[in-house]
Amino acid sequence: MKRTVFVILAVLLRTAFAQQMWERTYGGAGNDYGYSVQQTTDSGYIVAGTTKSFGDGTQVYLIRTDASGDTLWTRTYGGAGYDSGYSVQQTLDGGYVVAGTTTSFGNGSEVYLIKTDTSGETLWTRTYGGSGDQLGYCVQQTTDSGYIIAGRNGRWVYLVKTYANGDTVWTRRYSGFPRSTAKGHSVLQTSDGGYIVAGVFSSAPTWYGLLVKIGASGDSIWARTYQDVYRECLAIQHTFDGHYVVAGYDLDGMVLAEVDTTGDTLWTRTYGGAGNDYGYSVQQATDSGYIVAGYTNSFGGGMQVYLIKTDSSGDTIWTRTYGGADDDRGFSVRQTLDGGFIVAGYTTSFGDSTQVYLIKTDPEGIVAVAEPPRAEVRATNAATIVRGVLNLEGASSRKPQAASLVDMGGRKVLNLVPGENDVRQLAPGVYFVRKQTAFSSQHTATRVRKVIVAR
């Protein structure tokens, strides 16, 4: 009997943490963007962003999926103005909190906070700010069940601390010198009950990365700028040793740095190529290394989603790029319960318009070869018409690791080789050519293009 129970439990555990690999796009006929993703307690995902496809004007867009990326529900929030969601977190009660900006409510552009139940139905909304330009880029639930929001208030870093019902506890603005500009991109609650904010400080014509350490009551403890390390600090997370890891970019590429509790830099690393490379999100992985997401145009074609896995010192283990021939960007990454990674952003390569782009990888950053991005609405009309023979460009110094033809359901129907491939045996219809190219032993790029097999 005990052996039977053990076997059943082992099977259930293997099933619960079976490796999922897929790509999905979400949206409609307008332009839709994904800025923040988190795995939910049931192993699904919650994504926040912006949509022009649904509702009046531009709306906050919330997408709830299952573990396979299939949509469970979507919600939009806002009014007739411009409303955007930049950060989402599942809250202790199982619902969600979203931070962003709104011009539909209040005076000008204000920080917008939305609290929902488990189904995405609105429980309450709040706006913060006054006249001028306010945006909320990041929200975190605090240990007292309230919330801390980081963003921008005009030319200042803006921090808002709320109670659990969204009512304001305090607000603070932080800047540097007169006529300078600053904004906060990311915020964490620290072990002493205070907060640390990562952002950017500009004293024309120079841009600096910025960290501000703040006490529990909102008073500034210290501020550090990093001209030689960053142009912008875009994300900050805790490390297992009590320090902080910061991601961003400078003129040389994507940047990752570890700093101690006083803001002193312990090490920095730069990643990328000859083009433009940006780091927007970072998390320490369970192996003590780091996963960083952003976008790059250094590795062929247009802008690609860029994912880098490093060891605990920031040295590269592998890099991956994802997307098609157009503009594809990653803004948020998290490690998932099965050891893989989930990345949210947007794509213009797969769809008639800009679509929310969600990528689920295995622990090596690989997405199943036989699975093309599956649009929730429709695929792009831009395609190559093929009659009889599909020509795949020949191998070069950057040899394809794998090339295949898959149907609209993600099933591989043909392995492709360089040169001519006979497709006369296939039914007429829409297919995808999927190719992985090795730029080095550590860096592979995945490209997908649409073809129409015709008679």
DSSP string covering 67-122: TTS-EEEEEEE--SSBEEEEEEEE-TTS-EEEEEEESSSSSSBEEEEEEE-TTS-E
Asked if pLDDT for residue 380 goes beyond 70, the answer is no
Average pLDDT of 421-448? 76
Please tell me whether residue 4 adopts helix, strand or coil conformation. helix
Can you tell me the distance from the alpha carbon of 199 to that of 180, in angstroms, rounded to the nearest whole number? 13
Asked if pLDDT for residue 258 goes beyond 50, the answer is yes
Average pLDDT of 369-376? 48
Domain boundaries, the chain: 19-375, 384-453
pLDDT band (50, 70, 90) for residue 17: low
pLDDT at position 332:
98
Please tell me whether residue 183 adopts helix, strand or coil conformation. strand
**pTM score:** 0.82
Question: How confident is the prediction for the chain on average, in pLDDT?
Answer: 87
pLDDT band (50, 70, 90) for residue 441: low
Residue type, 105: F
Q: Cβ(218)–Cβ(173) under 8 Å?
A: no
Asked if pLDDT for residue 330 goes beyond 60, the answer is yes
Average pLDDT of 326-349? 96
How many other C-beta atoms lie within 10 A of the C-beta of residue 2? Answer: 6
pLDDT at position 16:
47
pLDDT at position 373:
56
Most confident of 9-13, 105-109, 308-312: 308-312
pLDDT at position 406:
78
pLDDT at position 3:
43
Distances (CA, A) of 288 to 18, 83, 120, 186: 22, 37, 34, 21
More confident residue, 11 or 409: 409
pLDDT at position 149:
98
More confident residue, 340 or 231: 340
More confident residue, 31 or 202: 31
pLDDT at position 108:
87
Q: Tens digits of per-residue pLDDT, 58-117?
A: 999 999 999 999 999 999 999 999 999 999 999 999 999 999 999 999 888 999 999 999
272-276, 340-344, 362-366, 451-455: least confident range: 451-455
pLDDT at position 59:
97
Asked if pLDDT for residue 273 goes beyond 60, the answer is yes
Sheet arrangement for strand 253-259: 232-238, 244-250, 253-259, 265-271
The CATH architecture to which 19-375 belongs is 7 Propeller (2.130)
Asked if pLDDT for residue 378 goes beyond 50, the answer is no
pLDDT band (50, 70, 90) for residue 360: very high
- Of 3.40.50.150, 2.60.40.1220, 3.10.440.10, 3.20.80.10, which CATH number belongs to 384-453? 2.60.40.1220
Q: Indicate the DSSP class of residue 165.
A: T
pLDDT band (50, 70, 90) for residue 325: confident
29-33, 140-144, 374-378, 387-391: least confident range: 374-378
Asked if pLDDT for residue 176 goes beyond 90, the answer is no
pLDDT band (50, 70, 90) for residue 371: very low
Q: Cβ(378)–Cβ(351) under 8 Å?
A: yes
H-helix or E-strand spanning residue 3: helix 2-16
pLDDT at position 381:
38
Asked if pLDDT for residue 404 goes beyond 60, the answer is yes
Considering the chain, what percentage of its residues have pLDDT values greater than 70? Answer: 87
Please tell me whether residue 321 adopts helix, strand or coil conformation. strand
